């Protein structure tokens, strides 16, 4: 009998988390034409808070939420505002699947940022994968042609940079703070920060959008819990590549809701980014095994 734990629960949770995040992002795209990006970012945070608060209070003591490393939480909150602003702004002008293709560069940026900020060593093979991934982004953006090199495309790229920098703060916070406190304070700071900046241009909510806002809150909350549980139960090297399944959801949602599909050049660029990302994850696993045999 094989006594090793099954990877199926972690894989299932990760796939569910990716699908739920895709539904949340589709909701953000539906809201983006009607409200300023910072207001949409605020609504994303506020709509998820009630369910996340229930999860947090059921799993940790309230006092644990106050004993945290505040400077890193504040930095992550600021990065979250930049990430949400760029992502929502970009979604106004491009298909969800194209936005995902650009954001897939984020894992490679995390590896690159880990060198100066975490002191990690990255060999020439992994640097090559990062450069190839950047080439894939350039293919998607097509800066020399009539492609996606618009303010929207660049905004999505900035969002990916903010996401990668936020992931670095998560690696540092994970050494001292709980997952619950990281999720809770991220949503609080996102809601307060984006809300304060959105206040001068705040638009009244339309009654027909309330169900979309509720859907964003429910899907975002459940996705965050599923993601946290997936990484708790499974190895990162096993479940992280499943994040690329978001492209499938992006294509399906684009076709179902907006009746658009990525063009051939976007598929090529996305393929380059995904291939280099998978190779990078494989090299990181080999590197980790070499350090901890």
39, part of any domain: yes
- Alpha helix segments (H runs only) across 234-263: 236-239, 246-253
Q: Which domain holds residue 209?
A: 8-291
1, part of any domain: no
Q: What does the alpha-carbon distance between residue 88 and residue 39 come to, in Å, rounded to a whole number?
A: 10
67, part of any domain: yes
Beta-carbon contacts of residue 245 (< 8 Å; ≥ 6 apart): 15, 18, 19
Q: What does the alpha-carbon distance between residue 275 and residue 111 come to, in Å, rounded to a whole number?
A: 16
Q: Is the dihedral of CA 231, 153, 115, 127 positive or negative?
A: positive
The pLDDT of residue 288: 65
Beta carbons of 15 and 242 less than 8 angstroms apart: yes
63, part of any domain: yes
The pLDDT of residue 147: 47
Beta carbons of 66 and 128 less than 8 angstroms apart: no
Instruction: For residue 115, give the nearest of 12, 41, 91, 124 by alpha carbon.
Output: 124
First to last CA, the chain: 25
3, part of any domain: no
The pLDDT of residue 20: 97
Q: What does the alpha-carbon distance between residue 96 and residue 13 come to, in Å, rounded to a whole number?
A: 22
The pLDDT of residue 192: 97
217, part of any domain: yes
Using CB atoms within 10 A of its CB, is residue 252 exposed (0-12), middle (13-18) or buried (19+)?
middle
75, part of any domain: yes
2, part of any domain: no
Instruction: Tell me how many domains the chain contains.
Output: 1
**Across the 293 residues of the chain, what is the mean pLDDT of every consecutive 10-residue run?**
67 95 97 97 96 92 89 96 97 93 92 88 89 91 60 92 92 88 94 97 96 97 89 79 93 96 90 92 73 59
């Amino acid at each position: 009998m094989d006594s090793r734990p099954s990877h199926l629960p972690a894989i299932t949770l990760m796939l569910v988390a990716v699908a739920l995040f895709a539904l949340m992002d589709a909701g953000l795209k539906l809201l983006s034409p009607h409200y300023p990006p910072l207001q949409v970012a605020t609504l994303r945070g506020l709509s998820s808070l009630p369910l996340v608060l229930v999860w947090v209070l059921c799993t940790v003591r309230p006092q644990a939420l106050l004993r945290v490393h505040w400077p890193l939480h504040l930095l992550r909150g600021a990065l979250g505002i930049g990430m949400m602003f760029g992502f929502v702004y970009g979604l106004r002008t491009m298909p969800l699947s194209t936005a995902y293709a650009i954001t897939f560069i984020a894992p490679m940026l995390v590896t690159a940022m880990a060198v100066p900020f975490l002191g990690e060593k990255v060999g020439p093979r992994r640097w090559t994968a990062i450069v190839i991934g950047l080439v894939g982004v350039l293919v998607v953006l097509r800066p020399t042609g009539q492609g996606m090199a618009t303010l929207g495309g660049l905004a999505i790229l900035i969002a990916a940079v903010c996401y990668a920098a936020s992931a670095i703060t998560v690696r540092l916070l994970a050494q001292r703070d709980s997952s619950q406190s990281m999720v809770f304070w991220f949503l609080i700071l996102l809601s307060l920060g984006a809300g304060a900046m959105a206040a001068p241009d705040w638009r009244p909510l339309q009654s027909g959008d309330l169900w979309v806002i509720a859907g964003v809150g429910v899907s975002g909350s459940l996705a965050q819990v599923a993601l946290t549980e997936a990484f708790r139960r499974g190895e990162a090297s096993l479940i992280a590549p499943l994040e690329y399944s978001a492209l499938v959801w992006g294509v399906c949602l684009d076709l179902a809701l907006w009746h658009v599909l990525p063009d051939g050049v976007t598929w090529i660029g996305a393929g380059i980014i995904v291939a280099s990302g998978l190779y990078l994850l494989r090299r990181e696993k080999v590197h980790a095994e070499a350090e901890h045999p």
